Amino acid sequence: MKALRAYILSLTAFLLISSFISAFLAEPCAALVPSNNITLERNGMTWEYHEQITGNKAILFRNFIDTQAGDDDNFVNAWEIQKAENILRNRTRESLKTKPDVKLNNSSELVKVTDVDFWLSEEALGKVEKNSSITNSALVSYIFEKEVGEGTSVWFMGTPNSSVTITLPADLKVEKTDGLDNKSQDFENNHTVLKGNFSPQKNITLWISDESSKAILEDRKGSAEQSIEKEDEDSKNKTRAAGKTVKPWKLFGSSKDSFAWFCSSPKS
């Protein structure tokens, strides 16, 4: 029975803590208060996740730590928290391999998870039966095998209705969004910052516009136009110079005409 109890607690707690991995939550839970902070770069991103667990879910979470990472003595201590962090870190890595939560241009193949970390709050310390809230954090780092730029689409899967802040790299802007409810957009320190909530469908897609590439194209276009204008001006200058050289010959005609004119003049 004790083994069965441990298994049930493990399964229930795992479904609870897997909300850190947004793919596992199909519906929002009132006992979980999650928030997301996504920092997008051209070659990768970080996803920071904070979660407050309250009420009976907090008891289940403490049970998970005590039974799966500790000595099952109905008390959570510091070494058990550290061991639980390692368990959650490894489970998240494996889960993201089978169900990715980030896609680039509709493909998860272009996105690689490089690091996963967890910080379980010291609020979890103490008796398992405590139902006081616990605030935990997770951080996942990714790299992209294709640089984010003009025309790129980025897809995120998160907890339905959870709040999210997405910070874009300098010079990148958003042409269109889908799935970002209650959206607001600010410009902070040369970065576009989007805020809102994951939709009930739990997916957000951004379509990116690259201002720097547009500026480069405009510069190239301007340089090309200047080059053409310079060539035209040079051509006109050559034509003018050639015209000035021809005019004296037009006055005097050919060398034979000049000689005939000289010979027939009154002075000859």
CA distance 84 to 64: 8
CA distance 21 to 184: 25
Judge contact between 150 and 208, C-beta under 8 A: yes
pLDDT computed for residue 268 by the predictor:
41
State whether 224 and 176 are in the same domain. no
Pick from 183, 181, 196, 177: nearest CA to 35: 196
Q: What is the count of structural domains for the chain?
A: 2
pLDDT computed for residue 32 by the predictor:
72
Range of the domain at 87: 2-216
CA distance 234 to 77: 83
pLDDT computed for residue 223 by the predictor:
55
State whether 120 and 237 are in the same domain. no
State whether 205 and 222 are in the same domain. no
Which of these three, 176, 193, 216, is where a domain ends?
216
pLDDT computed for residue 11 by the predictor:
42
State whether 12 and 137 are in the same domain. yes
State whether 26 and 142 are in the same domain. yes
pLDDT computed for residue 221 by the predictor:
52
pLDDT computed for residue 225 by the predictor:
55
State whether 189 and 241 are in the same domain. no
CA distance 74 to 66: 6
The length of the chain, given as a count of residues: 268
State whether 140 and 91 are in the same domain. yes
State whether 253 and 155 are in the same domain. no
Q: Please give the angle made by the CA atoms of 38, 91 and 77, to the nearest 5 degrees.
A: 95
State whether 162 and 238 are in the same domain. no
DSSP the chain: -HHHHHHHHHHHHHHHHGGGSGGG-SS--TTEEEEEEEEE-SSEEEEEEEEEE-HHHHHHHHHHIIIIIS-SSSEE-HHHHHHHHHHHHHHHHHHHHHS-SEEETTBGGGEEEEEEEEE--GGG-EETT----EEEEEEEEEEESS---TT-EEEEE--TT-EEEEEPPTTEEEEEEESEEEEEEEEETTEEEEEEEE-TT-EEEEEEEEHHHHHHHHHHHHHHHHHHHHHHHHHHHHHHHHHHHHHHHHHH-SHHHHHHHHHHSTT-
Give, for all 268 residues of the chain, the pLDDT tens digit: 333 333 334 444 454 555 444 433 334 455 677 999 999 999 999 999 999 999 999 999 999 999 999 999 999 999 999 999 999 999 989 999 999 999 999 999 999 999 999 899 999 999 999 999 999 999 999 999 999 999 999 999 999 999 999 999 999 999 999 999 999 999 999 999 999 999 998 899 999 999 875 544 445 455 545 655 666 666 666 666 655 554 443 433 443 343 333 344 444 4
Which of these three, 216, 232, 252, is where a domain ends?
216
State whether 23 and 80 are in the same domain. yes
pLDDT computed for residue 166 by the predictor:
98
State whether 51 and 181 are in the same domain. yes
pLDDT computed for residue 241 by the predictor:
61
State whether 231 and 127 are in the same domain. no
